[in-house]
Structure 1
Amino acid sequence: MTQVNVRSAAPPALHEPAISRFLFADPRLAPLWTLLRLYVGYEWLLAGWEKLTNPAGVWVGAKAGTAVSGFLQGALHKASGDHPDVSGWYATFLERVALPNAATFSYLVAYGEILVGLALILGLFTGLAAFFGGLMNASYLLAGTVSVNPLLFILATWLVLGWRVAGWWGLDRWVLPRFGVLLGIQRAGEPGPNSR
């Protein structure tokens, strides 16, 4: 009987262009990423704090869900007409899922904004925090609310792309290696770990 020696071949590696590595993974740009992260984090923390400390208790408290219900009703009114601001599929979600559970969504929004803000300010799980912040921005945009959401969505997208260095001047530098994420410094133009 003949033995066949099967070698496990490493999957092909996709190499990152030098400019991409410089913009999104070079710690020399950490000051820029920190400023972006702090700005977005501050905006989220402030928005969530205002909801949490609202004296009428329409977000968190005795009347939780009141503000969300009003917001959702306004979004549903924008779902009709010749040029609706809210897509039909999203209006269906708002009407059948979000509106009946307005109190739950109220708490999720208030505490979600605070948690995203704190995580970004501390530089803790920056990529995940930016992703969930962007998800909230997208939800507001889909509901027909513009305000600061387009800007924050763009910045959140950039923070997700730059997650490796966006938290370099933050807790990510020490926390992520505990989760198996290697944050070794690699200078622009140097070969990566998969180079041969």
Structure 2
Amino acid sequence: MARGKEIIIPENPVSRFLFSNTNSAWIWLIVRLYLGYAWITAGWKKVTGPAWTGENAGAAVQGFVSGALEKEEVASWYAAFLQNAVLPNAKVFSFMVAYGELLVGLGLILGLLTGIAAFFGGVMNVSFLFAGTLSTNPLLFVLATWLVLAWKVAGYYGLDRWALPLLGTPWQRKVTNTKSDLN
């Protein structure tokens, strides 16, 4: 095999259907709405609760971090991050978590920037998992990961159907003709 020669491996029909075909969009709609509902209800409880964004903002994060730091299964590097970055800035992280959950939920329900919303939802799920909190986080992380993979079609029954063609992708620049190009 020659070095530098591009080899294209064809995509299998199942992944092509799931991640590139708009006929699979109804599957992702169900996943999106489930995840969106989970995130928006969790975020709404936090945004309207005093321990997250009200007069006691940061109290819930401090309690969560303190509980995580007591667990033996929390990795030392993550415990250091919680101790040195999150705990001293509990109020800021409290607002980030509360409004982040709400925005992820809205993005998923509306189907707007679905892949990005799912990615940030997955980041939050992983953060909660690193802190030793199981609950529904493993399931939500798996579903979010699938939505990230299906970003091209996951928001087809949503605002992405119109937003993605307008925004384009980083690897596909929009070409505009100027008068000098025509000469």
TM (norm. structure 1) is 0.81
Q: How far apart are the structure 2 equivalents of 1:172 and 1:11?
A: 32
Q: How far apart are the structure 2 equivalents of 1:100 and 1:26?
A: 46
Q: How far apart are the structure 1 equivalents of 2:8 and 2:34?
A: 35
Q: How far apart are the structure 2 equivalents of 1:109 and 1:94?
A: 14
| Superimposed CA distance per residue, residues 57-111 of structure 1 (whole angstroms, 9 cap, x where no aligned partner) | 1100211100100000000000xxxxx2201110000000000000000000000
Q: How far apart are the structure 2 equivalents of 1:45 and 1:160?
A: 18
Mapped pair 1:58 → 2:51: yes
Gaps of 5+ in 2: 170-183
**Greater mean alpha carbon deviation, residues 104-113 or residues 172-181:** 172-181
Mapped pair 1:151 → 2:173: no
| Superimposed CA distance per residue, residues 18-57 of structure 1 (whole angstroms, 9 cap, x where no aligned partner) | 2211111111111111000000000000000000111xx1
Q: How far apart are the structure 2 equivalents of 1:115 and 1:141?
A: 20
What SS class does the counterpart of residue 25 from structure 2 fall into? helix
> Who is 2:63 aligned against?
70
Q: How does 1:159-178 map to 2 (within 5 A)?
A: 159-178=147-166
Q: How far apart are the structure 1 equivalents of 2:8 and 2:93?
A: 42
Gaps of 5+ in 1: 1-9, 79-83, 182-196
Tell me which stretches of 4 or more aligned residues in structure 1 moved more than 3 Å.
10-15
Give 1:134 shift. 0.3
Give 1:125 shift. 0.4
Give 1:11 shift. 6.0
Which of 39, 42, 45 aligns to 1:47? It is 42
Residue correspondences, number = 166
> Who is 1:35 aligned against?
30
CA RMSD of superposed structures (Å): 1.5
Which of 139, 152, 162 aligns to 2:127? It is 139
Q: How far apart are the structure 1 equivalents of 2:24 and 2:157?
A: 10
Q: How far apart are the structure 2 equivalents of 1:86 and 1:18?
A: 40
Q: How far apart are the structure 2 equivalents of 1:36 and 1:18?
A: 21
Mapped pair 1:23 → 2:49: no
Q: How far apart are the structure 1 equivalents of 2:107 and 2:158?
A: 10
Structure 1 or 2: more helix by fraction: 2
**Greater mean alpha carbon deviation, residues 22-31 or residues 110-119:** 22-31
> Who is 2:92 aligned against?
104
Decide whether the 8 Å contact of 2:48 with 2:54 is kept in 1: no
